[in-house]
Amino acid sequence: MEPPTIGSMEPQPAPDAAARSSGREAPPSPPRRRFLRFLVGFSAASTLGMIIAPIVGFLIPPRTQGSGGGRVVAGTLEDIPANTGKVVAMGSAPVIVVNTEAGVKAYSAVCTHLGCIVGFDTTVRHIVCPCHDGHFNPASGAVLSGPPPAPLPPIAVALEDDEIVLVPSGG
Amino acid sequence: MNAPAETVRGGVAGWFEERLRISGLLAALLHVRIPVSAQTYYLGGISLFLFGVQLISGTLLALYYKPTADAAYESVKYITSVVDFGWLIRSVHHWGATLMIASVGLHMGRIFVQAAYKYPRELTWMFGVLLFAVTILFGFTGYLLPWDQKAYWATTVGTEIAGGVPLIGDALLNLLRGGADVSDATLNRFFGMHVLVLPLLLAGLVVVHLTIVHQLGLASPRHPEPRPVRRGGPAQPVDEPLKPFFPHYILDELIAWFVVLAALVVLASVLPAGLEDEADPLITPQHVKPEWYFLSVYQLLKIVPRTIGIVAPMIAVAILLLLPFLDRNPAVAKRRRPLALSAAVLAVIGLVALTVWGAQS
């Protein structure tokens, strides 16, 4: 017996009746029903995919190119005298520039604990996070006390005449 | 005698049913009286579907859109050209608005032709007219948001029309614009109305509209609904074959939604929403025209005195709203409603003629 044609308008004998007439046992699930179930599931899944894919794509924000692609002048040595510090913007990233006994240093100003912006405390001469009182060594960026789990990432800095220039990595 | 044991369902459905006892409510919601003779063309459901599409696409757009005069245009440009699928979401929103206005209009036409606004469905019709008005307001307020030349000047003219309403015009103009001119304040107001006020209003009206539809069922286009006899109980509905709402009607409706979704994606892909130059309050572009659904009013204002051009559409809306009380003829069969149908045909011809004239002038 030929299998029933999908979508045929001709009435097909019921599979069990057909099986009985040919002396065979009825199949557990008629192929047409299984195929239709697959078709419905496939249609539903592909429709959902068609709707969800653009929505997810839309929700993912486009990659923004950092505006700090070039070198940034953080100020002069007069702006940041010895044992002081200043937070400046390098593109969209805050950077703390400190003038220490070991020279002018710069670090990412984003605290490695929970993302607050650190500042320079002239009293204790530490880089301090105001949120949870994390202290960093201004000469190395290392954690001195408090909850920060890692040192502040260093930023390359150069002195050109009197100007303090921040050099982005790779720049 | 013992009460029959409750049927206990297993699985996830059973778990929820034990805690929510919701199957009775769902069963009641899924039972709507639908006479086989009521050809709905699924237009009401399609309008609802398109509202859902607008809600989702609009929410997505709001994640990137900036509603200030300085930033709106650039943010729309950013959505269209930088954000992944931004052009698609924006175009779907644009075409969804057009299709929604068209489907609500056609739905009202279907109700009119089949006389489904008559007793006892007067309130269903009136809430439907309010839904149509809110849909048009959606179009009007959303049109300004891209802050391009077309948006700016169409809104300038549109709010000027509102300003021409007798007695309250000046106050209305000031209220709409948030000042004397279309400005940053207008953009803020329109954005607030478009994303907060109107969606809440529309959702509330939809709930009322659908509740009444659910309670009364669909009208038969063949027999008027019988009124209750004096001192008797409620009227018995005319005995005619019914179509099961679930799953038959719902499945048909789903297929219609699929077709509309396909049309929406094709339209958005083939004719994506454009963006003109940024709004410039000092330069009015040549031949500035509104969206197609305002073209008839636009053309009317060109050919009749200003006051008439403003008051006439208001009277038309009032007639639409009060139609069930103005049309006292109880008959529903088309051949017994020659006056109403002739008037409607003339109104539609006039509307289409003004629209085409407005588009070509």
pLDDT 10s digits, B132-178: 999 999 999 999 999 999 999 999 988 988 888 888 999 999 999 99
Partner A contacted by B83 (CB < 8 A): yes
Q: Are residues A31 and A53 in the same domain?
A: yes
Calculate the CA dihedral of residues B212, B218, B221, B224 and round it to 10 degrees: -50
pLDDT at A150: 96
Residue B114 identity (one-letter amino acid): Q
Report yes or no: A59 at the B interface, CB cutoff 8 Å: yes
| Per-residue H/E/C for B211-262 | HHHHHHCCCCCCCCCCCCCCCCCCCCCCCCCECCHHHHHHHHHHHHHHHHHH
Q: How far is CA B194 from each of CA A45, A53, A62, B169, B204, rounded to the nearest angstrom?
A: 32, 26, 26, 22, 15
Pair of tokens at residue B54: 């607008």
Helix (H) or strand (E) holding A159: strand A154-160
Backbone angles phi, psi at A76, to 5 degrees: -115, 170
Q: Is the pLDDT of residue A27 over 80?
A: no
pLDDT at B351: 96
Residue B103, in any domain of the structure: yes
The 10s digit of each residue's pLDDT in A136-156 is 999 999 999 999 999 999 999
- Cβ distance B307 to B164 under 8 Å? yes
Place of tokens 């400190």: A98
Residues A38 and A83 in one domain: no
Q: Is residue B72 part of a domain?
A: yes
Given CB atoms, is A49 within the 8 Å cutoff of chain B?
no
Radius of gyration of chain A (CA): 34
Q: Tell me whether residues A55 and B63 touch, CB distance under 8 A.
A: no
Domain count, chain A: 2
A123: in domain: yes
Tell me, what's the pLDDT at B219?
A: 93
Task: Number of helices (H) and strands (E) in chain A: give both, helices first.
Answer: 2, 10
Does A45 lie in the same domain as A78? no
What CATH number is given to the structural domain containing A163? 2.102.10.10
Among B85, B89, B265, most A C-beta atoms within 10 A, so best to mutate, is: B85
Q: What is the rounded average pLDDT of the residues A62-85? A: 82
Give B195's DSSP letter.
Answer: I
Using a CB-CB distance cutoff of 8 angstroms, which residues of chain A are in contact with residue B52?
A: none
A137-160 core/surface letters (b: 16 or more CB in 10 A; e: else)? bbeebebbebebeebbeebebeee
DSSP H helical ranges for chain A? 15-21, 31-59
CATH value at residue B61: 1.20.810.10
Residue with tokens 């034990």: B18
Domain that holds residue B154: 37-221+242-282
3-state secondary structure at position A99 = strand
Residue B128 falls within a domain, yes or no?
Answer: yes
Q: How far apart are CA B145 and CA B161, in angstroms?
A: 19
The CA distance from B110 to B40, in Å, is: 7
User: Does the structure show a pLDDT above 50 at A4?
Assistant: no
> Are B310 and B317 in contact, with CB atoms under 8 Å apart?
no
Say whether B82 and A62 touch across the interface (CB within 8 A).
yes
What integer pLDDT is reported at residue B289 of this predicted model?
86
A54 shares its domain with A95: no
Residue B47 covered by a domain: yes
CB of A13 within 8 Å of any CB in chain B?
no
Q: Is the CB of residue B326 less than 8 Å from the CB of residue B257? A: no
A19 band by pLDDT with thresholds 50, 70 and 90? very low
B327 domain-assigned: no
- A vs B: CB pairs below 8 A: 26
| Residue listed under structure tokens 């990233």 | A93
Domain-embedded: residue B83: yes
Cβ of residue B89 closer than 8 Å to a chain A Cβ: yes
Indicate whether A33 and A92 sit together in one domain. Answer: no
B183 closest CA partner among B108, B281, B103, B116: B281
* Residue B306 placed within a domain: no
Nearest CB partner across the interface for B60, out of A47, A50, A58: A58
Distance CA B193, CA B175 (A): 12
List Cα–Cα distances, B91 to A163, B100, B198, B273, in angstroms.
Answer: 51, 14, 21, 5
Q: Domain boundary at A28, A59, A90, which? A: A59
Closest CA to B75 of B85, B57, B63: B63
A77 and A127 share one domain: yes
Helix (H, G, I), strand (E, B) or coil at A77: coil
DSSP alpha helix (H) spans, B114-249: 122-144, 149-163, 169-177, 184-192, 198-216
Can you give the residue range of the structural domain that contains A36? Answer: 15-59
| Confidence grade of residue A1 (pLDDT, cut at 50, 70, 90) | very low
Joined together, the tokens standing for residue B19 give: 């805690």
How does pLDDT run along chain B (361 residues), one tens digit per residue?
A: 444 445 567 899 999 999 999 999 999 999 999 998 889 999 999 999 999 999 999 999 999 999 999 999 999 999 999 999 999 999 999 999 999 999 999 999 999 999 999 999 999 999 999 999 999 999 999 999 999 999 999 999 889 888 888 889 999 999 999 999 999 999 999 999 999 999 999 999 999 999 999 999 999 998 898 888 765 555 656 678 898 998 899 999 999 999 999 999 999 999 999 999 999 999 998 878 889 999 999 999 989 998 899 999 999 999 999 999 999 999 999 999 999 999 999 999 999 999 999 999 8
Q: What is the pLDDT of residue B185?
A: 96
Contact A96, A132 (CB under 8 A): no
| A104, A34: one domain | no
Domain match, A93 and A159 both: yes
Same domain for A149 and A103:
yes
Helix axes B306-326, B295-303, angle to 10 degrees: 130
**A91 in the same domain as A42:** no
Domain count, chain B: 1
CA distance B255 to B248: 11
Residue A1 covered by a domain: no
Query: Which residues of chain A have a CB within 8 Å of the CB of B63?
Result: 59
pLDDT band at residue A91 under the 50/70/90 scheme: confident
Rg, C-alpha atoms of chain B? 24
Nearest to B290 by CA among B124, B110, B120, B159: B159
